[in-house]
Amino acid sequence: MLAPICLFTYNRPEELQQTVEALKRNYLSSKSELFVFSDGAKNPDVAPKVAEVRRYLKTISGFQSVSIEESPINRGLANSIIAGVSRVVKQYGKVIVLEDDLITTPNFLNFLNQALDYYQDHPQMMSISGYTMDLPSLKNYESDFYLGYRAASWGWGIWKDRWELVDWEMKSYHSFKWNIRRQIQFMRGGMDMPYMLWKQMNGRLDSWAIRLGYCQFENNLITVFPSQSKLKSIGFGDEATHTKSSRRFSTKLDEELKTEFVFDPKPNLEPTLAREFREKFSLKSRLAEKFNFV
């Protein structure tokens, strides 16, 4: 059984249409169920764009089925994703999640579904990512995948039991915030993670992803990444809700477009790739980007 797809959208009809058209070109789209969650307008200025999005949603075809849920209120991205994914994954046991600014390759669903099936009962895995950054060691990398400490938020898949590990209220945060050793360990996925979590807990960030990442860290789990990216983001810009601009995360899309992937029953996390991944989130990388050195 293929994993159902959850697509979350708000007020960007142009990006949404590109996202859906790319997803329709996936080899497995016609066999996949699509659940679309349309968030309500935050204010009257946004309402026309939300209405345009919803008119377009009613025209979507090319999937086994299309279900649309229109929220009458503005839930925000975090609450929308938590509620939507929880409902669908409870019914199906696994899910693939996209937002409305992601262009996928035709074999994106192949990779996600095969990895979800292969590692379903693997106790070490938290999630599957369809995206990878442009890491130097991946240029001549022979394997179809590698492992990372940080859950990805662009085009990902997860199982019901792993999703239900997450404590969205973050009850353990009080003890964590005074534990310097644990905070340093949390940086293995990027030095920005403790600060992002602090902002979340102090009302300065509305993120489901950092809470998922914290759960992954707490349980010492890992994420499966493709060695060739199966998607890219088109969500950078002034209208982007959570991401304004970045070149660090630009990546080359998979051109081989193979449909069968080889996984390892006992995979190892490679230190060099983990270091290169972590460096993408370092102060050095961010300063280099800010001053146009990348």
How does pLDDT run across 271-283, given as a tens digit for each residue?
A: 999 999 999 998 7
How does pLDDT run across 64-94, given as a tens digit for each residue?
A: 999 999 999 999 999 999 999 999 999 999 9
**The pLDDT value given to residue 199:** 96
pLDDT band at 293 (very low <50, low <70, confident <90, very high): low
Q: Is the pLDDT of residue 285 over 90?
A: no
**The pLDDT value given to residue 173:** 94
pLDDT band at 249 (very low <50, low <70, confident <90, very high): confident
Structure tokens at 222: 């890992």
**The pLDDT value given to residue 283:** 75
**The pLDDT value given to residue 239:** 43
Q: Is the pLDDT of residue 292 over 80?
A: no
- Which CATH number fits the domain that encloses residue 280? 3.90.550.10
Query: Measured over all CA atoms, what is the biggest interatomic distance in the chain, rounded to whole angstroms?
Result: 53
Residues constituting the chain = 294
State whether residue 236 is helix, strand or coil.
coil
pTM of the model: 0.93
Q: Is the pLDDT of residue 120 over 90?
A: yes
Q: Structural domain of residue 163, as residue ranges?
A: 5-290
CA–CA dist 94, 5 (Å, integer): 9
For the chain, the average pLDDT equals 93
Distance of alpha carbon 18 from the chain centroid = 17
Q: Is the pLDDT of residue 243 over 50?
A: no
Number of domains into which the chain is organized = 1
pLDDT band at 242 (very low <50, low <70, confident <90, very high): very low
How does pLDDT run across 155-211, given as a tens digit for each residue?
A: 999 999 999 999 999 999 999 999 999 999 999 999 999 999 999 999 999 999 999
In the chain, count of helices (H) and strands (E)? 11, 10
* Terminal C-alpha separation, the chain: 42
**The pLDDT value given to residue 235:** 81
CA–CA dist 50, 35 (Å, integer): 17
Mean pLDDT (whole number) for 237-255: 67
CA–CA dist 225, 112 (Å, integer): 10
Mean pLDDT (whole number) for 22-26: 98
State whether residue 288 is helix, strand or coil.
helix
